[in-house]
Structure 1
Amino acid sequence: MTTSYEVAVRAEATLGEGPTWDPATGRLLWIDILGSRLHTYDPATGARTVRATHQHVGAAKPRAGGGLVLNLRDGVGLLDPDGGFRWLRHEPVPGRRANDAAVAPDGSLWAGTMRYDEAPGGGTLSRLAGDGSAELVLDDVAVSNGTGWSPDGTLMYYIDSPTRRIDIFDCSADGRVSGRRPFVSVEDGAGFPDGLTVDADGCVWVALWDGGAVRRYTPDGELDRVITLPTPRVTACAFGGAGLSDLYVTTARVGLTAPHPVAGSLLVVPNAGKGLPQPAFTG
């Protein structure tokens, strides 16, 4: 187990986000939200691709039948294996864009939104089924961010960044959530919680925007590890690689007057822990 980072992909992403391991292709997916770019990285070969999306993109996740589901500014779209695009749910709202998203154990997509001005209550969290039907879960969010589930699927973790909290919900057998309560609060001066991932031990890893670090909290909410990084705007983290032991971390350059050379790059902490296999979207 190590806590030192390496640069997996040197880049200058404006707002790097959403690292996701795709086991079907053996590639790490990540996006540049404001750059409208979808990146892939194959750690076995070093091969990279970059594809433009036609608008700001908050997340890209694998689909069960191949291709990707994209959380986009104006709704949720499907990228087919042949490269074709179609909307699954198109619902543009002026001044609002997509942000982070995650796939639940049942294969549904939990898609977050936020206003560009980050106004309180301007964002949402919705649960989308494979047929595009949607259930509004939260309608009073400021910056909808990290979402993840415990190894047994009975708990869901969620971040609305300005609250400085990771919240926890009970998750029922039909995938619905209830009983929202604080799990961890990030102290003033340590940054804002952004993206998260849950490991095989049920520990929650969270990236700290303006905190220059990734933290791991035990299932009891105790801080037990901190990985310090040289650039302040750390956005999200996910386990990847053949054994799901490497922690990939995205970073951003937006708003920095003198960015560190790795700001906007995809970083990796080798042998950081043990991740959980992530389900694919059913759509």
Structure 2
Amino acid sequence: MTKITTAYEVAVRAEATLGEGPTWDPAAGRLLWLDILGSRLHTYDPATGRRTVRVTDQHVGAAKPRAGGGLVLNLRDGVGLLDADGGFRWLHHEPVPGRRANDAAVAPDGSLWAGTMRYDEAPGGGTLSRFTGDGTVEAVLDDVAVSNGTGWSPDGTLMYYIDSPTRRVDVFDRAPDGRVSGRRPLVEIEDGAGFPDGLTVDADGCVWVALWDGAAVRRYTPDGELDRVIALPTPRVTACAFGGTDLTDLYITTACVGLTAPHPVAGSLLVIPGAGKGMPQPPFKG
């Protein structure tokens, strides 16, 4: 039986144009999240309530902790490294007119899997690429529309991936060298329920999926069965991730872009305390 819940809290009240990419930074004890179109990198410390905002020079799709400190950023014109002292340098610079960065995730081996999309969301205009710390780039998919959520099973043998317009969560087999194959659907989102956007995988191997224009986060079992729905009072739910020192709180980003009616929490960072049990996320080895 599918469990439906409506309880949530507002962690950070904001009006992010396109809130995205919640990521727990265990070394700093804080949550990272973004406003892609607002070119803003946010941090939030749930223990103290302290917040910071850094304006980036261009649209930023993802920010992940690095093993040596600082962050790796998926930016409009490529992937860059932000040092702990604020210094910046490009790891891979590849500007493409009309294209921007979107979601990204760090694999069990410490590589960054970074997605892109065209601003007009044209089919085949986006990519998914694998970056290593020395700047080596490997194209994984070169014909996606809106590259979004990416995650791995607890044992590292499966990778989950979303190209939003397909309305699917796909699953790949992951080889010991990190490469993936055997793409197939795990979940298909029905018409009227929105589009799958960001995802996270919990310690039980369940896949939590944020639904753009679906006003919800859903949890699916490793077999693709829907077993939980978190209903939310704003339609444009973009991504989710576990955070807090024990990784039991589910943080959810939302967007207010394109909404024609007011929604009080649109663009805010939400949280479901004690929603489940997340997995520690590896830092980028670079």
- TM-score scaled by length of structure 2: 0.98
CA distance in 2, matches of 1:219, 1:129: 28
Residue 128 of structure 2 aligns with which residue?
Answer: 125
Partner of 1:208: 211
3-state SS in 2 of match to 1:43: coil
Aligned to 2:184: 181
Could you report, residue by residue, the CA deviation over 1:108-163 in whole angstroms, capped at 9, with x for unpaired residues?
Answer: 00000000000000000000000111000000000000000000000000000000
Distance 1:255 1:183 in 2: 29
Matched to 1:166, the amino acid is: V
SS in 2 for 1:98: strand
2:93 is the counterpart of 1:80: no
Separation in 2, partners of 1:123, 1:239: 27
- The answer (yes or no) to whether the contact 2:6–2:232 under 8 Å persists in 1 is no
Count of aligned positions: 283
Instruction: Give me the identity figure in percent.
Output: 88
Structure 1 runs (4+) greater than 4 angstroms displaced = none
State how far apart, in whole Å, the 2-side matches of 1:198 and 1:125 are: 19
Q: Which amino acid in 1 is paired with 2:104? A: A
Q: Assess if the C-alpha contact under 8 Å between 1:252 and 1:265 holds in 2.
A: yes
Out of 148, 152, 166, which is 1:149 matched to?
152
SS across alignment from 1:137: strand
Q: Shift in Å at residue 259 of structure 1?
A: 2.8
Query: Does the 8 A contact of 1:101 with 1:145 survive in 2?
Result: yes
2:47 to 44, 48, 59: 44
Instruction: Give the 3-state SS of the residue equivalent to 2:234 in structure 1.
Output: coil
User: For the residues of structure 1 that align with 2:7 and 2:82, how far apart are their CA atoms?
Assistant: 35
Retained in 2: the 8 A contact 1:3–1:272?
A: no
Q: Which residue number corresponds to residue 277 of structure 2?
A: 274
Equivalent position SS for 2:22: strand
Give the secondary-structure state (helix, strand or coil) at the position aligned to 1:162. helix
Shift of 1:258: 1.8
Distance 2:169 2:57 in 1: 32
Are residue 265 (structure 1) and residue 268 (structure 2) matched?
Answer: yes
**1:54 paired residue number:** 57
- Residue 99 of structure 2 is aligned with which of 96, 100, 106? 96
Per-residue CA deviations over 1:32-54 (Å, capped at 9, x if unaligned) read 00000000000000000000000
Partner of 2:143: 140
Q: Distance in 2 between matches of 1:119 and 1:109?
A: 24
Which residue number corresponds to residue 227 of structure 1? Answer: 230
Deviation at 1:64, TM superposition (A): 0.3
* SS at 1:219 equivalent: coil
AA in 2 matched with 1:160: D
Deviations 1:96-119 (A, max 9, x none): 000000000000000000000000
Structure 2 spans left out of the alignment, 5+ residues: none
Q: Secondary structure at the residue paired with 1:35?
A: coil
Supply the distance in 2 between the matched residues of 1:9 and 1:128 (Cα, whole angstroms): 31
